[in-house]
């Protein structure tokens, strides 16, 4: 029997993309999106960059006009939280006690920013995940002089770059010896740190907060593990997220590797699809289970799920993970899924910050990171998809056109 009601839990990239993909692919049943967020779905990358800097208006941040949901007959229910339910009965329970039946369930629940366990509650401490977070940080920056960024991941570092572009002093501390070394390797992490230092950010690696100084409900300084005490008037914590797995657990879904295991078509069970941050996806190209916490991946999952549900059968989701990050005048792009411990083959000019790095494991390219080098990044994605061994010297040779299959 074809699905007549699809219920999507989560109003982020997965949920919004799935809802509109259903309509684009001709699904004419009910589409219900239940979101705990008070705001209609928005384009999260703006939150740490253009919107935070005041370069775009609020209206541009939203993915769709409010009227588009009505026009597409998408029932968008904001400020509602799903707490449990039964997959056997195909029924969800909401926080207000009401129930919602479904034929197909889509979960795109995202994650919750982590906070250091010793961090006191203070009015000038922020994490950046939601539109409301970005608005609060934007307002706080107006009256702040020096921001402390705890953690040097992409989103926090984008916000730090925005703060510098607004003329604020920024102190960035990172517990690891270099930023992003686990994901990108030591050498790329060094370049990443050097970019921020060249723009005036005080970057301190191998450094943590030993003591928070609290006065009148605000953090006004910190004592660091390097022994120095620093004055700050705004704290942004960017140490990653915890996937939101409470609902999958309540529904009895399996949990593995920090997420919900799904098949090649993003199905956790016959009538349940899972995408985005919480999906441990058996990727049909990479031939292993991966979980990726990036906006573009979530949107892609949503489009793939919408297409499968509209067609009445799950199709393998084959698109490679992809993300990008703009900081100052530097554009970073990444395709595939690798580790900083994989063998790295460099192509291009490190000093000019125009290069790509191919990450190789078991003789195959698993991922490619590019800095101001989009053409190579696109070619690298095709190399990954071919799943054939390549000559490392060919990858590094600028005289070779990688758009042609290397061998």
User: Hey, CA dihedral for 137, 138, 143, 148, is it positive or negative?
Assistant: positive
| Helix, coil or strand: residue 117 | coil
| Helix, coil or strand: residue 140 | helix
* Domain range 115-237, CATH architecture: 3-Layer(bba) Sandwich (3.50)
Using 50, 70 and 90 to split pLDDT, how confident is the model at 36?
very high
Backbone angles phi, psi at 15, to 5 degrees: -65, -45
| Alpha carbons 99 and 213: distance in angstroms, whole number | 46
Q: Where are the domains of the chain?
A: 5-112+243-311, 115-237, 329-396
Q: Which residue has the tokens 């991946």?
A: 297
The neighbour count for residue 271, using CB atoms within 10 Å, is 16
Backbone angles phi, psi at 296, to 5 degrees: -65, -35
pLDDT for res 405: 60
| Alpha carbons 151 and 141: distance in angstroms, whole number | 18
Find out whether 118 and 223 touch, Cβ atoms under 8 Å.
no
Q: Is the pLDDT of residue 406 over 70?
A: no
Q: Dihedral of the CA atoms 315, 316, 320, 323 (nearest 10)?
A: 50
| Alpha carbons 50 and 134: distance in angstroms, whole number | 11
Residue among 72, 294, 88, 300 nearest 183 (CA)? 294
| Helix, coil or strand: residue 236 | strand
pLDDT for res 3: 78
* Fold assignment, 5-112+243-311: FAD/NAD(P)-binding domain (3.50.50)
Beta bridge partners of 365: 360
Q: What is the mean pLDDT of the chain?
A: 96
* Fold assignment, 329-396: Enolase-like; domain 1 (3.30.390)
| Alpha carbons 295 and 277: distance in angstroms, whole number | 9
Find out whether 37 and 63 touch, Cβ atoms under 8 Å.
no
Q: Please check whether the two domains, 5-112+243-311 and 115-237, share a CATH topology.
A: yes
How does pLDDT run across 38-88, given as a tens digit for each residue?
A: 999 999 999 999 999 999 999 999 999 999 999 999 999 999 999 999 999
| Helix, coil or strand: residue 38 | coil
Q: Which residue has the tokens 């009601």?
A: 5
């Amino acid at each position: 029997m074809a699905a007549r009601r699809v219920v999507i839990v989560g109003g982020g990239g997965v949920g919004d993309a799935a809802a509109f993909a259903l309509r684009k692919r001709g699904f004419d049943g009910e589409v219900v999106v239940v979101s705990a967020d008070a705001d209609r779905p928005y384009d999260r990358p703006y939150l740490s960059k253009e919107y935070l800097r005041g370069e775009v208006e609020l209206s541009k941040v939203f993915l769709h006009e409010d009227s588009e949901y009505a026009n597409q007959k998408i029932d968008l229910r904001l400020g509602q939280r799903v707490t449990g339910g039964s997959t056997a009965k195909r029924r969800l329970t909401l926080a207000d006690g009401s129930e919602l039946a479904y034929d197909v369930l889509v979960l795109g629940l995202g994650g919750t920013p982590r906070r250091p366990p010793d961090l006191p509650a203070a009015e000038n401490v922020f994490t950046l995940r939601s539109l409301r977070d970005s608005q609060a940080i934007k307002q706080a920056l107006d009256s702040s002089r020096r921001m402390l960024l705890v953690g040097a991941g992409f989103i926090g570092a984008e916000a730090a770059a925005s703060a510098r572009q607004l003329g604020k002093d920024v102190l960035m501390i990172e517990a690891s010896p270099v930023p992003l070394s686990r994901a990108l390797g030591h050498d790329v992490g060094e370049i990443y740190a050097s970019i921020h230092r060249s723009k005036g950010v005080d970057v301190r690696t191998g450094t943590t907060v030993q003591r928070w100084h609290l006065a009148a409900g605000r953090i006004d300084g910190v004592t660091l593990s390097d022994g120095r005490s620093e004055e700050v008037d705004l704290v942004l914590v960017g140490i990653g997220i915890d996937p939101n797995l409470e609902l999958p657990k309540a529904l009895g879904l399996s949990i593995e590797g920090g997420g919900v295991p799904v098949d090649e078509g993003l199905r956790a069970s016959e009538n349940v699809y899972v995408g985005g941050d919480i999906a441990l996806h058996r990727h049909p190209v990479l031939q292993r289970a991966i979980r990726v916490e990036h906006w573009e991946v979530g949107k892609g999952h949503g489009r793939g799920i919408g297409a499968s549900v509209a067609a009445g059968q799950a199709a393998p989701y084959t698109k490679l993970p992809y993300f990008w990050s703009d900081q100052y005048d530097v554009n970073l792009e990444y395709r595939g899924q690798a580790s900083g411990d994989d063998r790295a083959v460099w192509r291009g000019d490190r000093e000019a910050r125009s290069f790509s790095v191919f990450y190789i494991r078991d003789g195959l390219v698993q991922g490619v990171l590019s800095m101001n080098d989009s053409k190579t990044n696109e070619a690298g994605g095709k190399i990954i998809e071919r799943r054939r061994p390549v000559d490392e010297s060919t990858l590094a040779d600028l005289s070779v056109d990688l758009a042609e299959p290397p061998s």
